[in-house]
């Protein structure tokens, strides 16, 4: 079945999914279509937001049809990895969503199911793994390697030659200085500035704001 005859389906229907629905209307999906349907534990997840998508049931129960293309709308790296593996084992195929106001270098390499939001930057020779989400205003510098299923919140800055393992999460405004390695499964808190290598599964946070 040709690509444009299948359904385009959101995996998850939280706040991030609602953003992706709006951005699909800007032509962000690689086949130029908008979303047709969604998967979620709740059939009412999109009620009240004006989005008229078909409900196809819970994610864990879904079996794709030929021609279906899915987009992962889940931010948590571990959940994203589990669900991607489950759905791929059933034959699911995933589309990329790259907003037209994002900048992606021609020499960059994007994996399957990547989501790149408005005004994000993916620079020269960066390599982006499968199911990575790069949120609005975030930057992935030249020669960065960004592991599968990782999530960058808004305004994250990964500078040149940074290496990030699989399944990492970066809070809003986090920065990683050049040539630093962030181990798989690490979580970098909002506003943190990472200057040294981070072990696998480490949790790194900046100091919170204090009343003066």
Asked if pLDDT for residue 2 goes beyond 50, the answer is no
Whole-angstrom distance, CA of residue 6 vs CA of residue 55: 15
Which two tokens mark 11? Answer: 């995996």
Whole-angstrom distance, CA of residue 126 vs CA of residue 140: 7
Question: For the chain, what's the residue count?
Answer: 212
- Does the model's pTM come out above 0.85? yes
Tell me the CATH number for domain 3-95.
3.40.50.20
Confidence of residue 211 (pLDDT cuts 50, 70, 90): confident
CATH architecture of structural domain 96-200: 3 Solenoid (2.160)
Domain extents for the chain? 3-95, 96-200
Q: What is the pLDDT of residue 5?
A: 64
Whole-angstrom distance, CA of residue 155 vs CA of residue 195: 17
| Per annotation, catalytic residue among 5, 51, 99, 142 | 142
Cβ atoms of 45 and 59 within 8 Å: the answer is no
- Reduced to 3 states (helix: H, G, I; strand: E, B; else coil), residue 80 is helix
- Reduced to 3 states (helix: H, G, I; strand: E, B; else coil), residue 15 is helix
Whole-angstrom distance, CA of residue 109 vs CA of residue 179: 19
Quick check: is 125 catalytic?
A: no
Q: What is the pLDDT of residue 185?
A: 98
Which two tokens mark 184? Answer: 């798989």
Average pLDDT of 65-89?
Answer: 97
pLDDT digits (tens, 9 = 90+) for 140-180: 999 999 999 999 999 999 999 999 999 999 999 999 999 99
Rounded to 5 degrees, φ, ψ at 39 are -115, 135
DSSP symbol at 32: S
């Amino acid at each position: 079945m040709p690509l444009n005859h299948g359904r385009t389906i959101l995996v998850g229907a939280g706040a991030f999914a609602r953003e992706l629905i709006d951005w699909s209307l800007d032509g962000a999906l690689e086949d130029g279509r908008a979303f047709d349907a969604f998967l979620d534990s709740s059939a009412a997840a999109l009620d009240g937001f004006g989005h008229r998508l078909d409900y196809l049931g819970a994610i864990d129960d879904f079996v794709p049809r030929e021609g279906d293309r899915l987009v992962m709308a889940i931010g948590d790296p571990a959940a994203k990895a589990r669900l991607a593996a489950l759905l791929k084992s059933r034959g699911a195929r995933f589309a990329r969503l790259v907003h037209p106001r994002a900048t992606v270098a021609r020499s960059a390499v994007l994996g399957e199911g990547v989501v790149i939001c408005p005004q994000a930057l993916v620079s020269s020779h960066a390599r982006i793994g499968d199911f990575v989400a790069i949120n609005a205003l975030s930057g992935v510098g030249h020669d960065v390697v960004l592991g599968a299923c990782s999530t960058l919140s808004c305004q994250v800055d990964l500078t040149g030659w940074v290496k990030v393992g699989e399944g990492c999460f970066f809070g809003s405004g986090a920065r990683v200085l050049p040539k630093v390695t962030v181990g798989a499964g690490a979580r970098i808190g909002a506003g943190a500035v990472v200057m040294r290598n981070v072990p696998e599964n480490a949790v790194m946070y900046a100091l919170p704001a204090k009343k003066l």
